[in-house]
Every structure is written in structure tokens, then in C-alpha cells.
Amino acid sequence: MEYTKLNKKGFERKYIMGLEAFMVFIVLVVATLFSLSYRKAYMDAREEQCFSLTRSVANEIDGDKVTHYLETLEADEDYYRILKYMRDLQKEFDIKYFYVIAPRIDKILYVWETHYDPAEEPIIGFETPYADMDVGKEMVNSAFKRDPEEELFSYDDKQFGKLITAATPVFNSKGVPIALVCVDMSRSAVEITIFNMVIRFSAALIIIMLISIVAYFFVMRKNIIIPLLKLHKAASEIVDNLESGEEYVSDIHTGDEIEALSDAFETMDKGIRSYIKKNSEITAEKERIGAELDMAKSIQASQLPSIFPAFPDRSEFDVYASMTPAKEVGGDFYDFFMADDDHIVLVMADVSGKGVPAALFMMISKILIKNHMQNGESPGNTLRSVNDQLLEGNNEGFFVTVWMAVIQISTGKGIAVNAGHEHPVLRRAGGEYELVKYRHSPAVSTVEGIPFREHEFQLYPGDSIFVYTDGVAEATSKEEELFGTDRLLEALNRDPDAMPEKVLENVMNGITMFVKDAEQFDDITMLSFKYLGQNQ
């Protein structure tokens, strides 16, 4: 992934978005807490201020004179002094309404009111029914008593708007409350003041947060994002660098897990290069071994008769053999040769094991068998001698199963030995192929000095012999089912009178149709011999 694509949804973008979300969250939480805290502190301060004003005015008023003012409705010098004092306080502390009232049963009487025109008569005795007041008797009853509890009243007045009122009683010389000093604050103004303060605080907080986040981002970019981008670039170019030979060298020094990751990446790069080098050496070695195995298979195949017709000048018989090797070098082999002008030797064998050692053992066995038979020995004596010779130095424990026969061409008489090999198949002229079953001798190279039983048989013109290794009967399909001898006989009897080459073709076609795409695990080796007789 290229960096331009990575940057659209990469760690840096996610990190910035995370910081922005964190900032918004912090601002909201802190602003909310500040708003609540500031509101309480501000309201407490305003409350104390209002009561301080009302108490200050109440201390200046002579309670007995209030009674005199209400009775005569006439103002004196002291009355105007109090009015001026109230107006000065109102102006200094931004009070909306400042007044003094005298409660009655169903109405209130104004004694002082800072908003009336001084040129006119004093407002003394001006009446307002409780019905015209939104807060009414509740406020008066709470404040107009000997031991009042100071309490702010917040309400919406139809005439004067949203107000917060503080009231302090005025007592006469006998200690009886006769009037209330009241201060009205605009609740809207208070709310605006609180709101403006919260906005200013939030703005300052946002600026501080932005500065902190930007500073923190650049620190994190230097220590995390840029090192990660370097690692990303190195990882993206690792294949090209492997080809060019340029090694990754860690130049990240953050002193944390990022640096450890970069060091690990450098170690990984070295490990990969070492692995590739070793793998190349192993691959080259495998290729060398593979080439040698192919050569070994070629040498093995070259040791088997492969030119057909094998005896073009002999009309008494026809012989054909083949070996289809599996992937590995195997130990199967066949052979046929003339022991003299009137005797032909047929050999079908299978060495235990796979690989080059088995192939070498196979070649030794083939040479020994041929040498003894060409020296005029019988099949039984030949295998007895070969058995003892192969046991010398056979530390790997290889053995070989052998079916071998020598046939007199002039008469069709034969002698066969089966040393632990598959049952041969015989067809009489005009008949079908059938297995020839009899007791076998042990395999060659198993026990020293053992005899090998010989079996005499007679071939007549038109008779055929088919021999094979276990790779034929044990050919396996994908369903892990074996080809078996029944299917072998079926393939042979599709054209029982066929000549040897066609016989092997029929069997191979039968195996191929059965196993289909399944892998071949063993060599498939076959030999067919047809006796035609002297009159052919």
C-alpha cells in the first residue's frame, strides 16, 4: 500500500481524529463542570451582594420614622438621604430595582422607590395589591418576621420580567418588623453574564487544548508516526531490497517499543536473507540430487532390454516387456536373454525399498542372475548362489523377490522358480489367462544357504505367459482402492490372443482408466511371452 493511500486512513489520520474527539470531549466535560461551578459561585456572590445591600440600607433606616412616613405621607431630609443612598448603591452595583415596602394584609405600601422622579411627590404610601404581584405573600411572609431566613426569590414577573429578589426586614424600636428593604436583579442579565463567562472560558480552554494537542501531535509524529512510516516503507520495499542486496539498517532511536520493533525488523531482514541463502543452497542441492536421480533412472532403464522386437531372427516366440517408473528410483527390473541357442531365460524381480540404494542392489542382482544362468546353472541353483552372494555385506537388509524361468525353445519345456514374487499368469492357446498359484520359495537375500524350489511346466504353441511386479496389482485409485488381480485378468482377457506388445498395452490402459489422476507410487513392470513353436 502506497503512503498516499495509507495516509487517507492511516494511523496519522486516525490519531488526529482521536485527538480531536478527545479535545471535544474534554472541552464539553470541563465547560459543563465549570458552568455548574461558576453558576453556583456567581449566584452565591450575587446573593451575598444583594443581602449586603439590603442589610446596609435596613441599618440606615429608622423603623419608627417608617411608621411616621406612612401616617403623614410626608418626606423629610432623612427620607431623601436614604433615597439618595439607595440610588447610589443601585448605580454602583447595577441593581435593577431598589425599594422599601410595608406589608399589609392584602396589599403592600411603598415607602421608598429609586425609580420615581424626584421632582414629583414622594412615593410614600403607593399601594399595590398582592394580586398584582407574581411573588406576592410568599416572599413577604418568608422575609417579614422577627428571625427571617435570608433567601433569594426567583420568578417571572409579567410587568418587570425575570427577576431575582432579596429582602431584609426593617425593625422599629420595639423590635417589630414594619418594612422590607428589597433588591431586584435581572435574572436574564445574570444568565447572560454566566453564559459569556462560560463562552470565554471554553474559548480559552479550546485554545490551550489546541496548542497542547498540536505540540503533542508533533512530538508523537516525530517519535511514533514517522518511525512507523519508515518501517512501512522498508516493509514495502523488502522484496526489491532482497533482490538488490540493500540491507535494512535501523536508524530509529526513540528509546521505546518502536525502536525495539525497528531492531526486530532489522533482525528479521537479516534472518530472511540468511534463510534465502540457505534455501538457495538447499534448492541447488536438491536440483543436483534430482539431476543425479534422473541420471540414475536413465542408467537403470538402460540396463533393461528396450529394443523390440528383441530377437527378430527367431520366429518360435515373441517377447515384450516394459517398466513405467514412479517418481523415485525403484528396484523393479525385468530381463530376458538367450542362455544358448535353444534356451531363453525370463526374469521378473522387485527389490525391497526405493531410491538409489535399491537401484544399485537391483543392478547387482540382475548381473549376478544373468551371469549364473549364462554359465549353464539351473534356476534354483542360480538363485541359491545369488542369495548367498547378496547376503555378503547386505547391512541395509535389502531383499529381492524373483520369478525366473528357463524355456527350451525347441520343445516348450520350462523350469520356473518363484522366490516370494507375484503369481504368474498363464494362457493356454484358445483359452483365457489364469493365475498359476503354487507354494513360493523365500525371497532372495533373506536366509543364507536356503534351497529354491523349481517347478517344471510345458508350453504349447499359442500359449502365453504374463509376469509382473506388485506395482500392477497394487496400483491405487483416489478412493484408495487397489487394481488387484481380478481387474488384471479382466484386462488380459479383453483380447486374450493378442501379441505380447498389445497385451502390455491392454493392461496399461486398464490401470490408467482405473487410477485416473491418482499419483503413481510404485514402478509398473510387466513382461509377456508368447510361445509359437517350431512350425511358425
Convert the pLDDT of each residue in 318-342 to its tens digit: 999 999 887 666 678 999 999 999 9
147 pLDDT higher than 80: no
| 106-120, 158-172, 213-227, 473-487 — most confident range | 473-487
What's the whole-number average pLDDT of the chain?
83
CA distance 26 to 202: 10
Q: How confident is the model at residue 356 (pLDDT cuts 50, 70, 90)?
A: confident
3-state SS assignment for residue 443: coil
* Backbone dihedral angles phi then psi of residue 227, each to the nearest 5 degrees: -60, -40
Q: Determine the residue type at 346.
A: L
Site of grid cell 505540540: 215
Q: How confident is the model at residue 464 (pLDDT cuts 50, 70, 90)?
A: very high
| 425-427 β-sheet, strand order | 317-324, 524-531, 464-468, 425-427, 433-435
The fraction of the chain above a pLDDT of 90, given in percent, is 37
Residue 515, H or E segment: helix 500-515
Q: Which three cell numbers stand for residue 458?
A: 510345458
pLDDT 10s digits, 61-75: 998 999 889 888 888
> Cβ neighbours of residue 97 under 8 Å, at least 6 residues apart?
114, 115, 160, 163, 182, 183, 184
- Segment 481-490 mean pLDDT: 95
376 pLDDT higher than 80: yes
Q: Which three cell numbers stand for residue 449?
A: 544357504
pLDDT 10s digits, 394-440: 888 899 999 999 999 999 999 999 999 999 999 999 999 999 998 89
pLDDT 10s digits, 219-252: 777 777 777 776 666 666 666 666 666 676 767 7
- What was the pLDDT predicted at 236? 65
- What was the pLDDT predicted at 226? 74
- Segment 269-293 mean pLDDT: 73
Are the C-beta atoms of residues 471 and 449 closer than 8 Å to each other? Answer: no
Are the C-beta atoms of residues 465 and 424 closer than 8 Å to each other? Answer: yes
| 31-45, 215-229, 449-463, 514-528 — most confident range | 449-463
Q: How far is CA 31 from CA 208, 214, 320, in A?
A: 13, 21, 101
User: Which residues are registered as beta bridge partners of 155?
Assistant: 163
The secondary structure of 409-426 as a DSSP string is TTT-EEEEEEES-PPPEE
Q: Which of 194, 198, 199 is nearest to 42 (CA)?
A: 194
438: Cα within 13 Å, side-chain hemisphere = 15
The β-bridge relationship of strands 464-468 and 524-531 is antiparallel
CA distance 430 to 144: 143
- What was the pLDDT predicted at 325? 83
Q: How far is CA 188 from CA 61, 94, 155, 275, in A?
A: 30, 13, 11, 79
- What was the pLDDT predicted at 3? 47
Are the C-beta atoms of residues 529 and 337 closer than 8 Å to each other? Answer: no
Q: How confident is the model at residue 34 (pLDDT cuts 50, 70, 90)?
A: confident
Number of neighbouring beta carbons within 10 Å of residue 101: 23
522 pLDDT higher than 90: no
> Cβ neighbours of residue 11 under 8 Å, at least 6 residues apart?
224, 225, 228
Helix, strand, coil % in the chain, rounded to nearest 5: 50, 20, 30
- Segment 461-472 mean pLDDT: 95
Q: How many residues does the chain have?
A: 536
